[in-house]
Amino acid sequence: MQGSLSFLLSWVVFLWSTQPSAGTRIHNAGKYSEDWLVSQTFPYKTSNDLFMDPCKADGFLSDMALTKDELVRYTRSAPILAVPSGNSTFLQDLLPMKPQSASEKGTKLKAWLETRNRTRSGRPSRTGNRPSSVKNVDRSKVKSRSPRAATARTERIWEDGIIPYEIDRNFSGEHKALFRQAMRHWENYTCVHFIERKPEHENYIVFTERPCGCCSFVGKRGSGAQAISIGKNCDKFGIVVHELGHVVGFWHEHTRPDRDSNVEIITSHIMPGQEYNFNKLTSEEVNSLGQPYDFASIMHYARNTFARGTYLDTILPRKTPEMLERPEIGQRIRLSEGDIAQTNLLYKCPTCGRTFLTPIGSFHSPEYDEEKYTAVNNELKVTPYRCVWRIEATHGEFIALNITQMDIGHTKDCFNDYLEIRDGHWHKSPLLARLCGANRMATTILSTGSRLWLEYKANKRITNSFLQYPTKAEAGFRARYDVICGGNITAPKGQLQSPNYPEDYRPDKECVWVIRLEANYQVAIQFHSFEIENHDECLYDYLELRDGAEAASPLIGRYCGYHIPTSIKSTGSSMWLKFVSDASVQKAGFSLEYVTEYDECALTDHGCQQTCINTLGGYRCECRIGFELHSDGKHCEKACGGFIEALNGSITSPSFPELYPPNKMCIWQISSPPQYQITINFTHFDLEGNNQDCEYDSITVSSSSDNTSSDWRRLGVFCGQSIPTPITADNNIVRVVFQSDNSVQKSGFAASFFTDKDECVVNNGGCQQICRNTMGGYECLCNNGFVLHENKHDCKEGGCKFLINEAMGIVSSPNWPETYPPRKDCIWHLTATPGHRIKLIFQEFEIEPHQECTYDHIEVYDGQSSASPVLGRFCGSKIPHPLLSSANQMFIIFQSDASVNRKGFTAEHTTECGGQLMATGVVGHLYSHAKYGDHNYGNREDCDWIIDSNSDAMAVHLRFLTFELEDSQDCSYDYVEIYDGYDDAANKLGTLCGNKMPKDYTSTGRALLLRFRSDDNINSKGFSVAYNTRPYDTEDAEGNAENSNSATDTVFDEDLAIGSPERLNPYEPT
């Protein structure tokens, strides 16, 4: 890994510091033509490891990673913590980032809150998962439920309590043993069961190490593999048990809604930025099934968690009169009785039975007694039983089960009452026996593997018309088991472990295994952990391997000590293994994996396109120099990146249009002759991320004119699914860098590039004032106040009257940036999309000063003419403050007299959604965004429109003409809300999303509030609305939002056949 990183850094330095020489290989300009790329539609794809990196979670509560929907629910209903010292209450927000150091978290939290508070209270984070609001949460209106601490969502519970797992190979044997010890601890007290993952297990956990340290998701994610990260300083037994508690489905104990009755949160002692970790959750997320608050839970915070100082308490148990002292909290030693009880309730564990992890044991069915019988109509009813026992040994051991007594009610095929024994870990494992009656088993039942599963059911009904006293029912059964090591093994692959692994092996053990495979195959062994009492000649405890099936076969080696042996391979199809321990000094033992070994590369169907490399138990494909492996692991493609000197071509992500590989960096450098510009046009774009932070996978585009490190200028960083607009570099060298991390791969990108000579570079293209390069040519333009001469190169003074309807642009004084001419009168009439306001921001300002701006000045009006209200009259050198119109029009006048001319001004005009609209009998319109009809609405839209009839006798009537927003089940991402009044304290009439046309809405008073919000991804067409006034109608008030049939609707039907904003044609100055 270190070598690969060094090579990668060297390659980057090389590209950033060199030009291709005459002998440099020039990269093929692309295997796809631009016309073909544009004509094709490629599917969007995502790898199946979405939850393999909890550091990428949408949010965090301490070490608990939150998914998008959990983040939405949490921020919508986050409880409020009181700030001490008399401060007002405030909302402790969820931190949408991975766990880091306290200082990093505090700094990022501050920045995140600043971003969040620039919009409305309750606006979402930049994770792309934004709820509607978290303010105004009335707890009294929330339906009361039991106190809660475990997951309340059934889809988060693992089916049958079985949790398949994998452990990353980069963990040491000690770590793997620790993880298994922690899992056995859960198994020993609950019916939750951890098993090695097999191909048929779609959902499973993976023990891994991620930068976020100790973290995991709560419960089952249901989307393939999900990681449980055990980072540095997390490799302690209690911490791993705690993290597994999250996997099982538990939140932290102190997040229960009833926690304030049991503990006190001392907010003044909490580290800045960590307050969110002490918020309570709601009944939508957690459920303790009525169990009391558990101070001893392994899922509880300690008293000084996230404290400003070591001896400060952040969470303090409340002391009741019955307590002699406050309970201890935050233990990380074992599962508490409350943890065990909650788990057994959560997973509906049978009330009788258990998991056995000991080498020998005995058990029996529950004892019957007279109190279990009740007489109803001369019929005795026996209380039904269902018991489950699980017997678990280590790999390389099998279980011998003996039924010593049996008296179970007999029915045909043992249908009613029975004892069922299965060869595996659950009720669908192969059936070994189904027993009933009074027969004692004459033979021993043997498992083929290291697990047995037993289920006992008794539900017998006894009828006796003359019975005065209950009689004893059948006695049930008694059983004994022994765990035996050694034996013949014929499975093509598997694991072997020392007895009692991962605990210390037992004394005085001798285990002999013989692995027998089919002829023409070999046995290959790889050790995962090894710790056997050391001796120079391995006389006491040892593992002996022989190349064959007999004790007299050639010796491969006798092993002891603490060094993991290298991989071993037999010469034939069998191997003999013997483990011996004496009466003293026990160690952790060994764990090994064996596989069937043969040369897959000698076969013709290995699938490698170029080179096949045989490995222990498998093979891998490799490619020749100049090629790299496709993401399918079989085919080869030309290595990504390189120098390109073609005038046009294409570049694509590796393996396009299939998933790009992880941990990939590709650098393309496109060079064109001097005076040429390069344009990059993306035709397909699908990278991990939301086009905001791009911290995982990304495309970075930069340009340079001389290829020096100081000359490179970044043109953009892109990710997500939004196709970037074409990028035209202002220099003749462009560098495109593609990077992917180690998880979540997408279908990638395709882009074409082409070059064009910039005629404006030399002598300004012959233009007198402004030269603008165009594809295949150029054009001359003139400054404000001038028009183009008939020769298309020179400029002459022209009129100064402008009608502007673009969503954004620049307004500047005549001849800017030169001095404005004398005796000039200019007019700008700006018109925005209906429902949007115009914002004017001055960037530079220098006009002849005067106390009353009598001589030269600029005057801005809030409307369509100089008769509209004045927003301001300005002169001098002080830049005016930004101006915002109340509606969609703004009128600007600039005047200069005969003397004293200055530089003038330049200002940017943009549009802002929302505002107060006046409804009349004439139909008005509003649109979701300024570029409605041309583009989808943008990210993080935050718009409030108040539509007022200005009359207590008139209501506001509103009809949607078009409607298309991102759809979601609860409209929590992009949505429209309608309130029957001036603000969101009024009655909410509806929350809308998707593409179903909403019904009409009529206010019960004189105003309606229409609110529009969008999140950070998945944008749609938006909506258009028509509104007018109508006399107040009781029927409309009672059945609000029903389409009415009044005369007003005739106006709507005739006038509202409109789906896009009115567009005004700008005219040239005269």
Task: Establish whether 246 is an annotated binding residue.
Answer: yes
**Dist. CA 111–CA 120, nearest whole Å:** 16
Least confident of 836-840, 885-889, 1060-1064: 1060-1064
Least confident of 70-84, 91-105, 336-350, 955-969: 91-105
**Dist. CA 966–CA 1017, nearest whole Å:** 9
Question: Is the pLDDT higher at 123 or at 5?
Answer: 5
Per residue in 149-169, pLDDT (tens digit) is: 667 678 889 999 999 999 988
423 within 8 A of 396, measured Cβ to Cβ: no
* Nearest CA among 52, 63, 135, 51 for reference residue 95: 63
* Nearest CA among 517, 559, 552 for reference residue 536: 559
Least confident of 119-128, 347-356, 654-663, 740-749: 119-128
- E strands along 343-450, which residues? 352-356, 360-364, 373-376, 379-382, 385-392, 397-407, 418-422, 431-435, 445-446
pLDDT of residue 1066: 35
pLDDT of residue 829: 94
Per residue in 396-432, pLDDT (tens digit) is: 999 999 998 888 888 888 888 899 999 999 999 999 9
Instruction: For residue 793, count other CB atoms closer than 10 A to its CB.
Output: 16
Per residue in 291-315, pLDDT (tens digit) is: 899 999 999 999 999 999 888 999 9
**Dist. CA 729–CA 436, nearest whole Å:** 83
pLDDT of residue 808: 86
Per residue in 684-706, pLDDT (tens digit) is: 999 988 766 788 899 999 988 77
Q: What is the average pLDDT across 693-722?
A: 84
- pLDDT surpassing 60 at residue 395: yes
Largest CA-CA distance found in the chain, in angstroms, rounded: 127
Question: Is the pLDDT higher at 416 or at 79?
Answer: 416
pLDDT of residue 460: 53
Per residue in 178-192, pLDDT (tens digit) is: 999 999 999 999 999
Q: Peptide bond preceding 817: is omega within 30 degrees of 0, i.e. cis?
A: yes
Per residue in 896-939, pLDDT (tens digit) is: 888 888 889 999 999 888 888 888 888 988 898 888 887 888 88
Q: What is the average pLDDT across 56-78?
A: 62
pLDDT of residue 420: 95
**pLDDT band, residue 53 (cuts 50/70/90):** low
pLDDT of residue 1063: 37
- pLDDT surpassing 50 at residue 17: no
Q: CA 642 from chain center: how many Å?
A: 33
Least confident of 108-112, 445-449, 710-714: 108-112
Residues with Cβ within 8 Å of 573's Cβ and at least 6 positions away in sequence, in order, are 516, 517, 518, 519, 520, 521, 522, 523
pLDDT of residue 373: 47
Per residue in 242-280, pLDDT (tens digit) is: 999 999 999 899 988 888 899 999 999 999 888 888 888
Helix axes 337-346, 173-189, angle to 10 degrees: 80
pLDDT of residue 83: 31
**Dist. CA 607–CA 596, nearest whole Å:** 19
985 within 8 A of 913, measured Cβ to Cβ: no
The token pair that represents 845 in the structure block: 């300002």
**pLDDT band, residue 1061 (cuts 50/70/90):** very low
- pLDDT surpassing 80 at residue 138: no
Question: Domains along the chain?
Answer: 54-65+149-341 (3.40.390.10), 352-485 (2.60.120.290), 488-596 (2.60.120.290), 599-639 (2.10.25.10), 645-757 (2.60.120.290), 799-912 (2.60.120.290), 914-1055 (2.60.120.290)
Least confident of 470-479, 845-854, 979-988: 470-479
Tokens 């809660």 correspond to what residue? 148
pLDDT of residue 294: 93
Instruction: Look up the pTM and report it.
Output: 0.61
The mean pLDDT value of the chain amounts to 80
* Nearest CA among 617, 666, 614 for reference residue 637: 666
Task: Establish whether 252 is an annotated binding residue.
Answer: yes
183 within 8 A of 326, measured Cβ to Cβ: no
Q: Peptide bond preceding 657: is omega within 30 degrees of 0, i.e. cis?
A: yes
- pLDDT surpassing 90 at residue 799: no
861 within 8 A of 891, measured Cβ to Cβ: yes
Instruction: For residue 518, count other CB atoms closer than 10 A to its CB.
Output: 10
* Nearest CA among 6, 11, 10 for reference residue 643: 11
Rounded (5°) CA angle 9-12-13: 85
For the chain, percent of residues with pLDDT exceeding 70:
80
**Dist. CA 835–CA 566, nearest whole Å:** 73
Question: Looking at 70, 187, 243, 420, which residue is catalytic?
Answer: 243
pLDDT of residue 41: 77
Cα Rg of the chain (Å, integer): 38
788 within 8 A of 782, measured Cβ to Cβ: yes
**pLDDT band, residue 31 (cuts 50/70/90):** low
455 included as an active-site residue: no
746 within 8 A of 44, measured Cβ to Cβ: yes
**Dist. CA 504–CA 532, nearest whole Å:** 9
**Coil vs helix vs strand at 718:** strand
- pLDDT surpassing 80 at residue 647: yes
- pLDDT surpassing 60 at residue 74: no
Q: What is the average pLDDT across 445-449?
A: 93
- pLDDT surpassing 80 at residue 453: yes
Residue 72 backbone dihedrals phi, psi, to 5 degrees: -60, -50
pLDDT of residue 62: 64
- pLDDT surpassing 70 at residue 146: no
Tokens 């909410």 correspond to what residue? 988
Least confident of 205-214, 364-373, 841-850, 895-904: 364-373
805 within 8 A of 1063, measured Cβ to Cβ: yes
Per residue in 580-600, pLDDT (tens digit) is: 999 989 999 999 999 998 888
Question: Is the pLDDT higher at 111 or at 352?
Answer: 352
* Nearest CA among 946, 941, 973, 970 for reference residue 958: 946
* Nearest CA among 964, 963, 939, 944 for reference residue 1015: 939
Residue 817 backbone dihedrals phi, psi, to 5 degrees: -95, 10
Task: Establish whether 789 is an annotated binding residue.
Answer: no
Q: Using CA atoms in the order 671, 677, 682, 687, what is the torsion angle rounded to 10 degrees?
A: 60
**pLDDT band, residue 367 (cuts 50/70/90):** low
Secondary structure (DSSP) of 868-924: SPEEEEE-BSSPPPPEE-SSSEEEEEEE--SS----EEEEEEEEEE-EEEE--SS-E
